[in-house]
Amino acid sequence: MIVMSSTPTAPHAAILGIGSYRASIEVPNAEIVDAIDSSDEWIQQRSGIRARRFASPEETIQVMSVGAARKALEHAGVEAVDIDCVIVATVSHLMQTPAIATAIAHELGTDKAPAFDISAACAGFCHGIALASDLVRGGTAGKVLVIGVERLSDITDLTDRGTAFIFADGAGAAVVGASDRPGISPVVWGSDGEQFDLIRQREDWRDVVGSDEHPGSGVMPHLTMQGNPVFRWASFTMAKVANEALAKAGITADDLDVFVPHQANMRIIDAMARSMKLPEHVRIARDIAEQGNTSAASIPLALDAMIASGEARSGDLALLIAFGAGLAYAAQVVVVP
Ligand code: COA
């Protein structure tokens, strides 16, 4: 029997570098409350958000991604030409095809690296890290660039009371490569399509365009969300997923240094931490207060901020958990680069 040759594999994978791009326009609650008959106090109490950041017209998905990726490459000490695969997690690249990842890979100068987008909403970055880890360990790629990026301001209805104060823009990136010790634990991930409708685009493109019998709305199909069930699901079900991720990594909450949950809502972050009984010494990401919910970008933005402030140090163990539309979720423990 002829035996095909196989790719040499790597024993372990790790995040080698992180970078982020914060959108330039700070939008405090005061600037959005009139359109939704709300108040700064209500928004802070219910979500913990004091301000969010929106991209300027020039800060496209590509511009923010390249900005975050260049910083991640520099942090990792890796040249763009050495990247073997580019994965971009986003739900707000407004062109159905091609994937924005190919344009980003080209601008970075990755020398024709395979590049594709993934759509797992707020869980996208952790999905990307899981894929990158397996690509590296399986020998398919030496180094993978994972980007989480959103311009949710393009698809948020600023007159919708349930979503206008939550969503925001930004990008974060990580370089994943081989390591001599485990740097990314096995992922715990899943989906609950029974709750497909809880967070979604209001209508599909055919409804926007319409037909002779049914005239289209002609307006951008914004995000809609049923806040209450999302809140309950995220606060309780996700704490269990987080504990499973710790177990799969072979550690307990006592071993953790940093907790970086998806920056959806401060009350969800607090409820998860309580439910997991996180010890006092675990430092918790609270980037949402000044950044808003940036979906796929929220975890790398938050982790990068903690590294910059010294709250997360190289070698720390960090639990990442991301969840959102789908509903989709993913969690893993990583060693901070
Ligand atoms: N400003 C002021 N008041 C508002 C409001 C707003 N933007 N939105 C709703 N309200 C009012 C309602 O009118 C209602 O008033 P009433 O009690 O007098 O009838 C009251 O607040 C409660 O409304 P409800 O829709 O039940 O709000 P809530 O307590 O569920 O809070 C969210 C709304 C969105 C803050 C909350 O559901 C939430 O945080 N959900 C999770 C969202 C999230 O994190 N999504 C991202 C997941 S990736």
Task: Decide if 4 is inside a domain.
Answer: no
Place 230 in a pLDDT band, splitting at 50, 70 and 90: very high
Q: Which atom of ligand 1 is nearest to the CA of 295?
A: 48
Q: Quote the number of domains for the chain.
A: 2
Q: Which amino acid is at 103?
A: A
Domain range spanning residue 167?
12-179
Do 251 and 102 share a structural domain? no
Q: Is 262 an active-site residue?
A: yes
Indicate the DSSP class of residue 167. Answer: B
For residue range 218-227, list pLDDT tens digits in order. Answer: 889 999 999 9
CA of 175 to the centre of ligand 1 (A): 37
Task: Decide if 251 is inside a domain.
Answer: yes
Among 133, 149, 179, which residue terminates a domain? Answer: 179
- pTM of the predicted protein model: 0.96
User: What span, in angstroms and rounded, lies between the C-alpha atoms of 262 and 285?
Assistant: 9
159 Cβ inside 6 Å of ligand 1: no
For 231-267, the DSSP string reads HHIIIIIHHHHHHHHHHHHT--GGG-SEEEE--S-HH
What pLDDT is stored for residue 330 in this prediction? 98
Mutate to test the pocket of ligand 1, among 37, 152, 161, 291 (most ligand atoms within 8 A of CB): 161
Name the token pair of 196: 């497909």
Percent of the chain scoring above 70 in pLDDT: 100
Among 129, 156, 179, which residue terminates a domain? Answer: 179
14 Cβ inside 6 Å of ligand 1: no
For residue range 25-66, list pLDDT tens digits in order. Answer: 999 999 999 999 999 999 999 999 999 999 999 999 999 999
Q: Is 293 an active-site residue?
A: yes
Q: Find all residues with CB under 8 Å of 91, minimum gap 6, and list them.
A: 119, 121, 124, 150, 155, 295, 296, 325
For residue range 57-87, list pLDDT tens digits in order. Answer: 999 999 999 999 999 999 999 999 999 999 9
Place 114 in a pLDDT band, splitting at 50, 70 and 90: very high
